Structure 1
């Protein structure tokens, strides 16, 4: 996940907040797209705390994880070391991705691409990924649908409480079309039933499917399939997460 902040305190609670994400399904999607993972060179872009990177590496892939947040990457490195996996992690913004070539696949998972606010940033990222891939290499990524940004996110505020972590998440329309501005107040349980508060601000933006198709083709990719909500089904007007599988 990328943003323009360091994600310091958020990095420490990130994994607990992502327990409902089916990372094993993402591994299967990458495996299907690449025809197997063993020995494949894979870029995990916006890798966050390395949850997906480590699962891909467990399947025999040679993984490099890229993220903007040093705090996230510190956790990712500890996770890989704990599993004795030689995952390489690099601090770098995805829109300035450089120094990578010859990769079999790239992944931008769990709406990380939506943290880029400008079309030019998305296009730059896609161009850079295209450069990083070998001929025939695959890019797999997912983004929020416009229905999710425009309708579902506007139904806030949202709350969460798992006994140790609680948050109040307030949302409003962002500056750009199909964008959402979020303010989150976190409460973390510490000793003696006291709670520590910290606050996060996040802005995400998405684009209609046809805009992503145009940007992908402009970057040199061929579209293989577009599907929604973790299912091998075409997106509809109420789909929430849109997946793109494309090839260089």
Structure 2
């Protein structure tokens, strides 16, 4: 298993990382993305991409290995790439505990330098859009195109902007017995969604802020086609329901032509 601390890569840009390096991030992630949801999504990903034992999969923005580890357990040959060292360490630990091999690369997505190495690339759980310049997202998609073999497929799972915009306000909710407050806003000039999350845990109040570029389907399709992809399917959730303005997710499958 590759040690993420020693994998040679270009320098990592830390402008957007504060949310993902917060000490409570993993607690939030594992609370909102429980094992049952993960199992459902992994099964759907395997179905959407027709994954088989030995399929070479790149998990682009792999985080703590939530998807990559179970894919490896089910027979895929998985490489995980992420720009946050602490999350890669968690992925390495999860792979070891699961008894699977997971190559791990510390890098920003746009700096991926693989050429025709993978049969499938996945970019899941809204891993796109956090960089400050959307041209960097375009570079990441172009890098994924180069990394795929001809005929290989890319699967992107991200927020449905049309549905998200109706929640651009202050809200509060219960999460694992803890009250969480969210202050949300959307800037239509640059398409960026900003959210400050505050919570009280073990008597300590804390908060974290993140910002990401929310893409419409039209915009995301344009980025994919600019890179050379052919968009094949769009779904609104992991049941493969048709995509619409009220869909909870926007899941796009694109193919690198033969």
Q: TM-score category by the smaller chain?
A: 0.7 to 0.9
Aligned with 1:94 (options 109, 113, 121): 109
Is the partner of 2:154 in helix, strand or coil? strand
Partner of 2:162: 147
Aligned with 1:180 (options 186, 190, 193): 193
Aligned with 1:236 (options 226, 233, 244): 244
Aligned with 1:159 (options 164, 170, 173): 173
Is the partner of 1:112 in helix, strand or coil? coil
Partner of 1:204: 212
Partner of 2:137: 122
In structure 2, distance between residues paired with 1:63 and 1:148: 32
Is the partner of 2:183 in helix, strand or coil? strand
Aligned with 2:74 (options 59, 65, 87): 59
In structure 1, distance between residues paired with 2:133 and 2:144: 17
TM-score by length of 2: 0.84
Deviates more, 1:117-126 or 1:131-140: 117-126
In structure 1, distance between residues paired with 2:218 and 2:230: 14
Deviates more, 1:105-114 or 1:92-101: 92-101
Is the partner of 1:203 in helix, strand or coil? strand
Deviation per CA, 1:33-92, whole angstroms, max 9, x where unpaired?
433331011111111111101110111111111111111111111111111111112221
In structure 1, distance between residues paired with 2:173 and 2:124: 24
In structure 1, distance between residues paired with 2:65 and 2:170: 29
> Between Structure 1 and Structure 2, which shows a larger proportion of helix residues?
1
What's the offset of the Cα at 1:175?
A: 7.1
TM-score by length of 1: 0.87
Q: Which runs of 5+ in 1 are unaligned?
A: 190-194
